[in-house]
Amino acid sequence: MFRLVAAIAALSFAMPAQADWHVAESDHFVIYADDRWQDLQEFGEALERYHAALNVLQMRENTVPSPSNRLTIFVVGSEGRLRKLASDKSNNVAGFYIPRAGSSRAFVPRISMRGRETDISVTILLHEYAHHYLMSRTSSALPRWVNEGAAEFYASAKFDNDGGIAIGRPAYHRAAELYLANDVSVHELIDPELYAKNKSRRFDAYYGRAWALFHYLYFAKDRAGQMTEYLRLIMAGSEQTEAAVAAFGDLDALQKDLDRYIAQRRMKVYTLPAHMLPTNPVTVRRLSDGEAEMMPLRIRSQRGVSREEALELLPDVREVAADYPRDAGVLAALAEAEYDAGNLDAAIAAADAAIAIDPARKNAYVQKGYALFAQAADAEDETAAYKEAMKPFTALNRLENDHPLPLIHYYRSFAERGVEPSETARHALDRAAQLAPFDHRLAVNAALMHAKIGNIAAARQYLTPVAANPHGGSAARQAQVLLDQLENAEEGTPWRRRPVVDLTRALSSIARSVAEKEPQQAEDGDEADRPE
């Protein structure tokens, strides 16, 4: 998994003088890289084939997300630049991912698709996109070992020159872990409490063993249907160990079978030919000179910055904007930097200038809306101020009907004022959460909204997968606390925390954190995500 790490330090992030920035866009991805357009085209096509392969193996129809819910990937050029973005001192991070409604971002050092094995940074991206894909298509909470085993299973993909993909190959990037790290038993994989009790401080083989168990159960003929039955029992409410024994039988026997399986010299692989992986075209364009010069600064901003970091970044952004005063992309980036630094009037002015040049520049509407919402919080006439603040988001909604941010902010326009949200506003927040199920803070927000009006079952449905996410950090912990408090709540009875707090204000606070870009803090850092 991509590690969610602390906000970037104020470090240089210089790019080569002869930059050749391009952006590739497809149904499910947006990729920015200082690279040849042919390389972006190849990489974009490979990712779309990977998405199609997930559809085939999951037996799902292809769906196309709204443009702002595509995954945006920034190729930063080197491991050193990536570590500066990640504020990582271990020299082990090969990429990271931030799930946010309307602005999910992944950062990788390079996009090499050549060679006998897939580059480790691409493998990590494939692992995390598998999570992104699965979260976008199910509201059920998967056991951790299934979640991570499946992501490893898909991430070991190899892209053939003829357009085919091999899925389910041995996870060679986990080989050292399986042979050298502390072992993790089948009992520990299946029983999270036992694993937590026995987990040492040393790096262990959890990911490798999760991959192996998933791979074995996926392909073993004598265990056909057992994984499906196990997940059915989990979703029906069975405890994990109980479900495992019912589906798999004797777990000690399963352990012995798995050990023999890992020792095999050959393993089955799914080879999907190109004709099974239909995709739509990938379009590539060269960025304007202004956008290219702004890209290193934009990447830092898109990573998420604190107010102090934004203030350090702002002079460089302003300098580029002064050189390209008629470039809408540059002005939208300036609006974002001004907003991040707390200069609300300047953010609005830059956003207006960008929109005047290019009325379809979506980020300009977002930054103007953010700034107006921030101003509305201190306005004497809150009703009028929030009505005005909704105008950029209403315009954005017209540009992209399923953009989640206008839906979230419509709900906020009630919650921020301490006014009971209308039914339409509640539907809007629900819709946003459906569009971006990978944003767990948004799911918690939707759960609180439902609990407040007595929709306890709906609240639990939102909270359960968040609480079960092993890398969910504070959102997962908060979701579990809320699930515990909702245990005895009655359906149809509005729920209140104890002690009683103003839930409308609480909701607005959470909505604010969901809606606005923030630096993501490290949560439960996982050494298993580091390359060997």
Task: Check whether 445 has a pLDDT greater than 90.
Answer: yes
38 occurs within a structural domain: no
Among 375, 400, 425, give the residue marking a domain's end.
Answer: 400
Q: Which residues of 226-244 are buried (b: 16+ CB within 10 A; e: fewer)?
A: bbeebbebbeeebebeebb
One domain, residues 391 and 406? no
| Angle of CA points 134, 137, 142, to nearest 5° | 50
Whole-Å CA distances, 72 to 104, 211, 302, 428: 6, 27, 10, 24
Task: Give how many domains the chain has, as a whole number.
Answer: 2
Smallest CA-to-CA distance from 411 within 504, 305, 307 is with 504
Task: Check whether 7 has a pLDDT greater than 80.
Answer: no
- 55/69 Cα distance (integer angstroms): 18
Q: Which two tokens stand for residue 107?
A: 């950062």
Task: DSSP letter for 182, please.
Answer: B
Nearest-Å Rg of the Cα atoms of the chain is 24
The CATH number assigned to the domain holding 316 equals: 1.25.40.10
One domain, residues 390 and 418? no
485 occurs within a structural domain: yes
Q: Which of 189-203, 390-404, 455-469, 507-521 has the highest mean predicted lDDT (pLDDT)? A: 390-404
One domain, residues 395 and 413? no
Query: Among the listed ranges 51-60, 90-99, 320-329, which one has the minimum average pLDDT value?
Result: 90-99
pLDDT at 82: 87
Over residues 310-314, the mean pLDDT reads 97
Q: What is the pLDDT of residues 149-172, one digit of tens each?
A: 999 999 999 999 899 999 999 888
Omega before 499 within 30 of 0, i.e. cis:
yes
Amino acid at 340: D
- Please count the residues of the chain: 532
DSSP β-bridge partners for residue 493? none
Task: DSSP letter for 172, please.
Answer: G
pLDDT at 202: 65
Contacts of 460 (CB under 8 A, 6+ apart): 447, 483, 486
Task: Judge contact between 19 and 77, C-beta under 8 A.
Answer: no
Task: Judge contact between 123 and 156, C-beta under 8 A.
Answer: yes
Sheet holding 158-159, edge to edge: 158-159, 165-167, 270-272
508 occurs within a structural domain: yes
- 325/227 Cα distance (integer angstroms): 58
Instruction: With cut-offs at 50, 70 and 90, classify the pLDDT of residue 509.
Output: low
Average pLDDT over the chain reads 87
Over residues 120-144, the mean pLDDT reads 85
One domain, residues 352 and 443? no
Amino acid at 114: R
pLDDT at 10: 35
pLDDT at 14: 47
Per-residue 3-state assignment (H helix, E strand, C coil) for 386-427: HHHHHHHHHHHHHHCCCCHHHHHHHHHHHHCCCCCCCHHHHH
One domain, residues 385 and 412? no
Per-residue 3-state assignment (H helix, E strand, C coil) for 79-92: HHHHHHHHCCCCCC
pLDDT at 472: 73
One domain, residues 429 and 380? no
Handedness of CA 517, 523, 525, 529 (dihedral sign): negative
Among 360, 376, 400, give the residue marking a domain's end.
Answer: 400
Neighbours of 374 (CB within 10 A): 16
442 occurs within a structural domain: yes
Instruction: With cut-offs at 50, 70 and 90, classify the pLDDT of residue 88.
Output: low
Query: Among the listed ranges 89-103, 170-184, 411-425, which one has the minimum average pLDDT value?
Result: 89-103
- 62/66 Cα distance (integer angstroms): 13
Task: Check whether 319 has a pLDDT greater than 90.
Answer: yes
Smallest CA-to-CA distance from 69 within 431, 393, 510 is with 431
pLDDT over 90, % of the chain: 65
Q: What is the pLDDT of residues 483-503, one digit of tens each?
A: 999 988 999 999 986 543 444
Instruction: With cut-offs at 50, 70 and 90, classify the pLDDT of residue 525.
Output: very low
One domain, residues 396 and 456? no
pLDDT at 167: 93
pLDDT at 517: 57
One domain, residues 426 and 519? yes
Task: Check whether 93 has a pLDDT greater than 90.
Answer: no
Query: Cα-Cα-Cα-Cα dihedral of 229, 231, 232, 234, to 10°?
Result: 120
Amino acid at 3: R
pLDDT at 520: 42
349 occurs within a structural domain: yes
Residue with tokens 């998405």: 51
pLDDT at 111: 84
One domain, residues 316 and 396? yes
Helix (H, G, I), strand (E, B) or coil at 166: strand
DSSP β-bridge partners for residue 496? none
Among 400, 430, 463, give the residue marking a domain's end.
Answer: 400
One domain, residues 453 and 369? no
Q: What is the pLDDT of residues 375-391, one digit of tens each?
A: 999 999 999 999 999 99
- The domain in which residue 499 lies consists of 402-523
| Angle of CA points 132, 135, 139, to nearest 5° | 170
pLDDT at 348: 98
Over residues 323-335, the mean pLDDT reads 98
Query: Among the listed ranges 22-26, 206-210, 245-249, 405-409, which one has the minimum average pLDDT value?
Result: 206-210
Task: Judge contact between 48 and 28, C-beta under 8 A.
Answer: yes
395 occurs within a structural domain: yes
Task: Check whether 110 has a pLDDT greater than 90.
Answer: no
Q: What is the pLDDT of residues 43-61, one digit of tens each?
A: 999 999 999 999 999 999 8
One domain, residues 314 and 365? yes
- 29/155 Cα distance (integer angstroms): 17
Task: Check whether 529 has a pLDDT greater than 60.
Answer: no
Smallest CA-to-CA distance from 412 within 436, 431, 429 is with 429
107 occurs within a structural domain: no
Question: What is Dmax (Cα atoms) for the chain?
Answer: 73
- 95/275 Cα distance (integer angstroms): 31
One domain, residues 460 and 384? no
517 occurs within a structural domain: yes
Over residues 423-449, the mean pLDDT reads 94
pLDDT at 531: 29
Q: Which two tokens stand for residue 303?
A: 């990573």
Task: Judge contact between 113 and 146, C-beta under 8 A.
Answer: no
Q: What is the pLDDT of residues 246-297, one digit of tens each?
A: 999 999 999 999 999 998 888 999 999 999 998 899 999 999 999 999 999 9
Whole-Å CA distances, 312 to 76, 315, 330, 337, 483: 20, 7, 18, 10, 41
Handedness of CA 319, 322, 326, 331 (dihedral sign): positive
Task: Write down the pTM of the prediction.
Answer: 0.86
Instruction: With cut-offs at 50, 70 and 90, classify the pLDDT of residue 462.
Output: very high
Task: Check whether 13 has a pLDDT greater than 80.
Answer: no
